[in-house]
Amino acid sequence: MSDIILEMRGMEISFPGVKALDQVDFTLRRGEVHALLGENGAGKSTLIKVLTGVHRPDAGTMLLSGQPIRPGSTQEAQKMGISTVYQEVNLCHNLTVAENIFIGRQPMKRGRIDWKTINRRARELMLRMGMDIDVTQPLSAYSIAIQQMASIARAVDINAQVLILDEPTSSLDDNEVVNLFAVMRELKAQGLGIIFITHFLDQVFAVSDRLTVLRNGRLVGEYEAGAISKLELVTNMVGKDMNVIYNLQKAPRPDEAPVVLEASGIGIPGKVEDISLNIRKGELLGFAGLLGSGRTETAEMLFGVVPVHQGSISIGEEPLSLRAPLDAIRRGMAFCPEDRKRDGIIGDLSIRENIALAVQATRGFMHPLPQKEQQELAQRFIKLLSIATPDADKKVGELSGGNQQKVILARWMATNPDLLILDEPTRGIDIGAKAEIQRLMLEMCKEGRSVIFISSELDEIIRCANRIIVMRDLAKAAEVDGDTCTQADILAIIANEGEGEEAAV
Amino acid sequence: MKKAIASGNFLRSKLFWAIVAELLILLVGFILRPDFLSIQLRTLSDGTTVLFGTPVDILNRASEITIIAMGMTLVIALGGTDISVGALVAVSGAIALKFLRWDVLVYNTPGDYTVQPFYLVILLPLLACTLMGLFNGALIGKLKIQPIIATLILMVGGRGIAQIVTDGKQFTTQYTPFKFIGNGSILGLPLPIIITLVVVLGVMLFVRRTSFGMFVESVGINPNASRVSGLKSGTIILIAYVLTGFLSGISGLIYASRISSNDSNNAGLGYEMDAILAVVIGGTSMTGGKFSLTGTVVGSLIIRTITTLVLYFGVVSEAIMAFKALIIAVVIVLQSEPVRNAISRRRDRIRTQMGGEARA
């Protein structure tokens, strides 16, 4: 068929210890949006990296418009017409929009850069995507959404035949997503083939024509978007029945249990102000609010990551003064940070060492955990959390995001904490791992531990939490009952609609 | 299968290529003059038997750098560097000689005596260097000053301190126990080699039998995550610099003993660069993270082998530095990631071809 632009047949690639792709086929037609789906570690990014020349496949053929290709680098792939727009916008914020679009291939006129043409063509390109903006302004003057459009404009202008959008919507709001979809439709009408990678299933159905599902490096199937239901799709991605996630049982609300931690009026001027909260033994306290509303700062204060400037914290009856996270750990606290890469994993160390790290930190380096015990500890949690790895000596940096998150969780569960603070533990991980982490949280509450659960996804907070603190504008806006409140209630508080603070507690 | 992967990794490792480089340099020496590798037992005039030969000499003379490089490995694994070690070597020697010849006006001729008790002659230089390491460590670990700036202070100031200690004079000594440190031998093995073995094994045991090594790597790879996990990175950094200071003191005693003198201007000159180079050739990255003490030992031997080779073949002394740099450049290029990968890819290809033929 002539309308196939890209055909990948029998792609195979192995990394030490894992077969990352095993006999994977993929076809992309001219003028279609083709969603590539699968859990973390299913092989999506590996497939894209093979296509863009980052990895060389061990076997398999790739045909672009019928011609066999074997790109050796991303630049080579780009020249062939395969462009990628990554999740993080990787443009230069201090350059203008036009400069960003044309950097590295500026049109020249008499040995000098032809600014007139650059600006005119950049404006045309942005207009074509429905963006009527001043392209001579620096990129940083515009929102993430517009910056993303600029990187798409840049990608498309390099004679692209195939455009890869890797999680393009993760930092966009609803309106911006709609806008992006309009651009995608426009581009496909112009005959481009678009590969769309996302975790948001609703978006898959909103914009895709066909979808390909991968699991554990193998092809599960290729479907017409209209011919498969969401539940079927999820079941195919995860490989098991998804009813578990909808059957989670909330822990009973422990109104009579003693308070394990109390904070009164803690804050850091300019960052977050006057937060008071308490949490009981066995309770799951949710923290809702937009990104940047002060949730993470509050968690970091409670754990001693940043010093508390005002107010006080007490554990049981005793006041708690935190100079470093170690003080909090010694008092039975644990903290899974939001930014897994920056504050969580030690990428080059093994799974075993990463799991043992916090336990070892409380013991001090002169009292090492014997190798045998470390190994047992690691094995126990690899099994308990079903971390996908051939052995405990694999580097954590080589695991997928969901498995890295589980390793960090294991690090803290190994310290046997009374109070666990989880900051966005389910972000960027697949639905199967998400369900498992929620189940674990609830189980820990039933064992009598307390959990503070911070998340941007309201449905999962409501599903799990006994009580929910809603943050807005660097302060606590309200505290609501997790059993009775709805998403709409919380959204209203975040949006500051009904002035009714302190809703039903 | 699993073994093939492991050996593949080893082929890609810097340590492997460091060993290859060392063997190649030795081979060049052997081809040029076959007696380059010979070892013999000789009986000295005082009746003791000692091992002689270039390989023994390389091991012996590598001691000063190897000992310092053990501490430097940890410092570099933590993402830092210590350029004061050379100056500390000078301080160590100056203090030792000061105590051997305390009142020079009275004891104005060097001889087989010591003014202060011998244990002070050994302990006080070590204590001084340890305190200087503490100074470095406090600036870097606690006050978060950039390592190269913090250790620059003692790099410059250390030689000044050494001058002050000895009033700018150069003393010599003939005290036998002191001379034994750098020149003596036990069971035929030169004492510096034995001291080096003890230090290397001691540091290895300390690092791997306790969790210190894991903590160092953790802080070196990701300081933020290490802190959140409860590590006190400041203290870990402090200990690494204190250890490096202490080891520089040992190295300084060996050096001073070899020349039976103190030399504030030349003792330990350029040691910081040799030690850093030994660590890097041994496979520890300057950006911090995973480290290899074994690699550092090999790296230190490479540097000393090159120096010995150059001296052995009578390269004019003006050209020694340039020649040394040339060989080091070759070693580092051989170790660079693209070259390593290219070689192991080539080998993989040959292996798969052979495997294919075998199956066919």
Q: What is the pLDDT of residue A284?
A: 94
Show the domain range for B280.
47-314
Closest Cβ opposite residue A329 in set B5, B230, B289 = B230
Q: Per the domain annotation, does B1 fall within a domain?
A: no
CATH number at residue B285: 1.10.3470
Cα separation of B298 and B220, whole Å?
22
Q: Which residues of B touch A349 (CB under 8 A)?
A: 214, 217-218, 221
* Token representation of residue A89: 């916008």
Cβ separation of A411 and B229 shorter than 8 Å?
A: yes
Among the partner residues B9, B211, B289, nearest to A365 by beta-carbon distance: B211
The verdict on residue B325 lying in a domain is: no
Beta bridge partners of A312: A264
Predicted pLDDT at A1: 44
Q: Which chain A positions have a beta carbon within 8 Å of B225's beta carbon?
A: 337, 342-346
| Residue contact A335–B214, C-beta within 8 A | no
pLDDT, position B136: 97
Inter-CA distances, A25 with A167, A205, A224, A234, A472, Å? 21, 22, 16, 20, 47
Residues with pLDDT less than 50, chain B: 1-7, 356-360
Distance, C-alpha B327 to centroid of its chain: 19
Q: Could B224 and A345 be called an inter-chain contact, meaning their C-beta atoms sit closer than 8 Å?
A: no
Give the mutation candidate from B78, B229, B239, B351 for the A interface (greatest A CB count, under 10 A): B229
Reported as a single tens digit per residue, the pLDDT across A470-489 is: 988 888 888 998 888 888 88
Contact A326 B230 (CB under 8 A): yes
Gap from A342 CA to chain B (nearest CA, Å): 6
Tens-digit pLDDT string for chain A (505 aa): 458 889 999 999 887 667 788 899 999 999 999 999 887 678 888 899 899 888 888 899 999 988 899 888 888 888 888 888 876 667 888 888 888 888 877 778 888 888 888 889 888 888 877 778 888 888 888 877 788 888 888 887 767 889 999 888 776 777 778 888 888 898 888 888 999 988 777 888 889 999 999 888 889 889 998 888 877 887 787 765 555 556 677 777 888 889 999 999 999 888 888 899 999 999 999 998 877 788 888 999 999 999 888 899 998 778 888 889 999 999 999 999 988 888 999 999 999 999 999 999 999 999 999 999 999 999 999 998 888 888 899 999 888 778 888 999 999 999 999 999 999 888 767 777 788 888 889 999 999 999 999 988 888 888 889 999 998 888 888 899 888 888 888 888 887 754 444 444 3
E strands within A201-280?
A: 210-215, 218-224, 259-268, 272-280
Whole-angstrom distance, CA of residue B147 vs CA of residue B85: 13
Give the count of domains, chain B: 1
Q: Distance between CA A152 and CA B269 in Å, rounded?
A: 56
Residue of A337, A348, A366 with shortest CB distance to B228: A337
Of the candidates A186, A229, A187, the one whose C-alpha atom is nearest the C-alpha of residue A204 is A229
Domains and CATH numbers, chain A: 4-244 (3.40.50.300), 245-332+417-505 (3.40.50.300), 347-415 (no CATH)
Residue B79 resides in a domain: yes
Asked whether residue B3 is domain-assigned, the answer is no
Beta strands in A244-336 (DSSP E): 259-268, 272-280, 284-288, 310-315, 318-320, 333-336
The residue of chain B with its CA nearest to that of A332 is: B230
Confidence (pLDDT) at B2: 39
Residue B147 and residue B81 in contact, taking contact as beta carbons nearer than 8 Å: yes
Q: Which residue in the set A17, A303, A345 is minimally distant from B225, CB to CB?
A: A345
Kindly state the helix (H) or strand (E) to which residue A15 belongs, with its residue range.
Answer: strand A4-15
| A contacts of B209 (beta carbons < 8 Å) | 368
**Residue tagged 């380096």 (tokens):** A365
Query: Is the distance from CB of A235 to CB of A245 less than 8 angstroms?
Result: no
Cα gap A136→A122, rounded to integer Å: 9
Contact across the interface for A360 and B217, Cβ inside 8 Å: no
| Pair B219, B78: CB distance under 8 Å | yes
- Residue A228: the pLDDT is 85
8 A C-beta contact, residue A221 and residue A237: no
CA angle A453, A459, A462 (to 5 degrees): 55
Q: How far is CA B17 from CA A406, B9, B66, B275, B287, in A?
A: 36, 12, 19, 18, 20
- Residue A310, Cβ density class (10 Å: 0-12 exposed, 13-18 middle, ≥19 buried): middle
pLDDT one-digit tens code per residue, A176-197: 788 888 888 988 888 889 999 8
End-to-end CA distance of chain A: 63
Contacts of B229 in chain A (CB under 8 A): 325, 346, 357-358, 361, 411
At B38 the pLDDT is 85
In a domain, B27, yes or no: no
Question: CB atoms < 10 A from the CB of A7, how many?
Answer: 18
Q: Select from B166, B163, B160 the least CA-distant residue to B102.
A: B166
Give dist(CA B169, CA B174) in Å, integer. 17
What pLDDT was estimated at residue B1?
A: 36
**Nearest residue on chain B to A409, alpha-carbon basis:** B229
- In this complex, is the C-beta atom of A306 within 8 Å of any C-beta atom belonging to chain B? no
Q: Which pLDDT does position A90 carry in this prediction?
A: 73
B162 touching chain A per CB within 8 A: no
Q: Which residue of A has its CA nearest to B211?
A: A365
Interface membership of B350 toward A (CB under 8 Å): no
Report the C-alpha gap between A364 and A362 in whole angstroms: 6
Query: What does the pLDDT look like over B143-161, one tens digit per residue?
Result: 999 999 999 999 999 999 9
- Nearest by CB to A324, which of B209, B227, B290? B227
- Hey, is the C-beta of A329 within 8 angstroms of any chain B C-beta? yes
The encoded tokens of residue A149 equal 């459009």
